[in-house]
Structure 1
Amino acid sequence: MPDISPDPATGWPEARPTACLVLADGTVIEGEGIGAITTSTGEVCFNTAMTGYQEVLTDPSYAGQIITFTFPHIGNVGANEEDVETVSPAQGSGVAGCVLRAPIGEASNWRATRRLDEWLKARGIAGITGVDTRALTNRIREKGMMNAVLVHDPAGNFDYEALKRQAAALPSMSGLDLVPGVTAAQRYDWSGTTWRLGSGYGQQEGGEYHIVAVDYGIKSNILRLLAEEGCRVTVLPASASAEEVMALQPDGIFLSNGPGDPAATGAYAVPNIRKLIDTGTPIFGICLGHQMLGLALGGNTAKMHQGHHGANHPVKDHTTGKVEIVSMNHGFAVERDSLPPDVEETHVSLFDGSNAGIRLKGKPIFSVQYHPEASPGPQDSHYLFERFMENVRQAKKAQASKAAVGA
């Protein structure tokens, strides 16, 4: 197989490589190791975001994946303790590794507390620099996302034949339930709000509405935006039953993002989502939550060729006619032709025409394929939290009117 490592004459990597990425098709890529000194495995994808690499590397939806950043200069603003999307700052990242073009330089940002490579090492994430990421991205676009083994060894001792066999034997992402590795261990309450210059993150005192979020790999900024809308937020593990959710008397239910195959996680999650739908409680789902809501409503999901990973994806909202730029991270998608007549497609990707949003006609239940909290990314989609809260307010008003009539 061809070697798509850069020419050593460029200076990337050093004469003796300290890291390698071995793809399942036998391709060997050499470079300079960064971060944790370890061997990791995962599905290789590419991310087109130009900023927000720290949020990307702590997004639980990337569990089991090795991220190739297409932007060449990653690490130039360093790392800090605030831009972390796993709920607990001490929580390990689900990402299996990262692939970069240029070596990591000194941090150049007033918020930085350390270099990115030091941060990667502290979080146990291995990486490789000096890679022709354009060539690797083209390979993924042509052949699809494939498994790989990433090794960081300062001594440069690599058994390539053994690594090729290991990469080829790795299981496909199809059929994998990766949610147990990233979901909350137990119920907890959330009150933190969004970050502001000069004051950092705030706190929501009280809250008029109670939202229960089912955690399939939830990101911190989702919870912050819910709290920002004036909500009391309770987070439950992915294994929570519909009865456990409804016992908390939620005004609204949020189905979070997460990694892996929605059909695999849906084996236990979808029956509960169906019961929640039947209650008539407003529901808002994103990413994996969107896919499993689609399954619960009678649709199907399928593995994508290269997936959508980036903070610059155009999506059209059919309900308003507007186009928004969104943050996406998914390797599976809802198949629009499988949706029943009572489910309306609300959003569509303008990159490839794939489904990006649905709603159940006649009920306050909707979902989108992308990450509307956009950490990293643009804030075009924050309106969806307002749309969700309007559903919650209307449902509460209808409930109060019904109670008054009954009295």
Structure 2
Amino acid sequence: MPQHAPADRQQVAHPAILVLEDGRTFRGDSYGAPGETFGEAVFTTGMTGYQETLTDPSYHRQVVVMTAPHVGNTGINDEDPESDRIWVAGYVVRDPARVASNWRSQRTLDDELVAHSVVGISGIDTRALTRHLRERGAMRVGISSVETDPEALLKRVLASEPMKGAQLSGEVSTSEPYVVAARNLPEGTKPFVVAALDLGIKANTPRMMSERGMEVHVLPATSSLEDVLAVGGESGPDGLFFSNGPGDPAATTGQIDLLRAALERDLPYFGICFGNQLFGRALGLDTYKLKYGHRGINQPVMDRTTGKVEVTTHNHGFAVKWPDDLDRDQAFASPYGDVTVSHVCLNDDVVEGLELRRPDGSLRAFSVQYHPESAAGPRDASYLFDRFAQLMTERTGA
């Protein structure tokens, strides 16, 4: 049965304001929890999948603007979260649904935001806000239903922490290791054992690996090389995986040192999103902050190794910088072998994937700058988990 938002929230509008760090101000109604919040203003172009967006740890300390005008119509359920909490710092929608109408719905989006103390704003021109962020770039923002003076709120916005230079993976990672058992294993075969570093991992990622016969040991972001090598017993893990996550890759050092040590041992590696950026830095490449980033479930990417175009799920504000003196068809010489660009975004030519090969041309590690686990989003990129399995098969001879 459809579930209705509480009547008092439907009928009583409490004013709220949104102030960007350049002073641009929007006035609307409070949505979700009352109060005040700060973060980096970013927009996502997905027309659905708001529950997965809200619970994606990569959105930690970000205020998410929904470009789709009508949000909340399918409510909230207990099956679709990608983590155990909402991570966004704030939420901006134009037209929140008055009624949640879906057979899977268990409560309203508004109630869920209140339960997780997420401050939001509704009833503003999100198209104008999105155009402003596209032109000026992602920037700090404040939302308040307790402050009426934009100038006073702007002062607090300017005093808030910027995303550049932020090291956040430790704030969203698991505190204790856990294991996701392998599934769909043919009788008599052993699973591949994967050490997965949780930098902000989404629940569907180890699930997708599990479905391909991988036993996934999810480790805290602060794990050492010894912790990784202890996975799988005396033989160690068959592969290493770095997940998505929030923050500036240039502010990270420990995970890069870990990855370099793993590459020196020729451990097969697969990284996504933040794991792609850290892979680039471990190889000797730089990273940079995009003007407004890629966020949504409709980003076109070309796999240059096959020529196939896939529609993909993105959430990143940083990217790997390819050297200016090399074109995309030339290899970059790293201390671990030749590096090539495997994927590019067809909207703006941003590097979306890297491959590391041995002198004989065989693949030893790879990464992509998007979400192949596709939660929410299309399943075009799920083949990358099969590619990871093949990489481990070639190394072990299984």
TM-score of the superposed pair, with normalisation by structure 1:
0.87
Identify the residue that residue 7 of structure 2 maps to in structure 1: none
Distance 1:246 1:79 in 2: 39
The percentage of aligned residue pairs carrying the same residue is: 45
Task: Tell me the secondary structure at the aligned position of residue 100 of structure 2.
Answer: coil
Identify the residue that residue 202 of structure 1 maps to in structure 2: none
Match for 1:253 among 240, 254, 264? 240
| 1:14-29 correspondence runs (5 A) | 17-29=14-26
- Per-residue deviation at 1:193? 7.2
Q: Which segments of 5 or more consecutive residues in structure 1 lack a partner in the other structure?
A: 1-12, 195-205, 401-407
Q: Which segments of 5 or more consecutive residues in structure 2 lack a partner in the other structure?
A: 1-9, 325-330
Distance 1:164 1:336 in 2: 36
- Quick check: 1:282–1:392 contact (8 Å CA) kept in 2? yes
2:214 paired with 1:223 = no
Task: Tell me the secondary structure at the aligned position of residue 275 of structure 2.
Answer: helix
- Per-residue deviation at 1:169? 2.3
Match for 1:296 among 282, 301, 321? 282
- Quick check: 2:182–2:216 contact (8 Å CA) kept in 1? no
Identify the residue that residue 353 of structure 1 maps to in structure 2: 349
- Quick check: 2:183–2:214 contact (8 Å CA) kept in 1? no
Q: Deviations over 1:138-176 (max 9, x none)?
A: 0000000010111234xxx52322201111222321110
Distance 1:19 1:375 in 2: 31
Identify the residue that residue 340 of structure 1 maps to in structure 2: 332
Task: Tell me the secondary structure at the aligned position of residue 61 of structure 1.
Answer: helix
Q: How many residues align?
A: 368
Distance 1:150 1:14 in 2: 21
Q: Deviations over 1:79-102 (max 9, x none)?
A: 01111011xx3xx33210110010
TM-score of the superposed pair, with normalisation by structure 2:
0.89
Identify the residue that residue 270 of structure 1 maps to in structure 2: 256
Task: Tell me the secondary structure at the aligned position of residue 17 of structure 2.
Answer: strand
| 1:321-332 correspondence runs (5 A) | 321-332=307-318
- Per-residue deviation at 1:307? 0.3
Distance 1:150 1:81 in 2: 28
Q: Deviations over 1:110-160 (max 9, x none)?
A: 00001110111112212111010100000000000010111234xxx5232
Distance 2:89 2:385 in 1: 31
Deviant stretches of 4+, over 3 Å? 13-17, 191-194
- Quick check: 1:297–1:340 contact (8 Å CA) kept in 2? no
- Quick check: 1:20–1:152 contact (8 Å CA) kept in 2? yes
- Per-residue deviation at 1:14? 9.3
Q: Deviations over 1:335-364 (max 9, x none)?
A: 012783310100000010010000101242
Distance 1:350 1:365 in 2: 23
| 1:25-64 correspondence runs (5 A) | 25-64=22-61
| 1:233-248 correspondence runs (5 A) | 233-248=216-231
2:375 paired with 1:375 = yes
Give the superposed CA RMSD: 2.0
Q: Deviations over 1:216-265 (max 9, x none)?
A: 00000001101111111111111111121012111111100000101112
Residue type of the alignment partner of 2:106: T
